[in-house]
Amino acid sequence: MANFIPRPYKTEQITIRLPLDRLAQVDDLALRYDLSRSAFINQCIDYALENLMEMDIKSEEE
């Protein structure tokens, strides 16, 4: 069995403002996927940034 070695990771607390209907949608989806609000938003941001970069690369190639 591999040894468990805890490692710190850096995060920073920030504040964002969302329309109430969007916040409700985020909370609903986070609950459906059994994620915290923060984890869900982080995954959404990761997905958006990865896809945005792909779109930028495709635009430059054309």
Q: Are 21 and 28 in contact (CB under 8 A)?
A: no
CA distances from 60 to 11, 46, 52, 57 (A): 32, 21, 12, 5
Residue of 31, 35, 32, 54 whose CA lies nearest to 43: 35
CA distance linking residue 27 with residue 36, whole number of Å: 8
Q: What is the pLDDT along the chain (62 residues), one digit of tens a residue?
A: 678 877 888 889 999 999 999 999 999 999 999 999 999 999 999 999 888 866 666 666 66
Specify the pLDDT at position 35: 95
Confidence (pTM): 0.71
Alpha helices by DSSP H, the chain: 20-32, 37-61
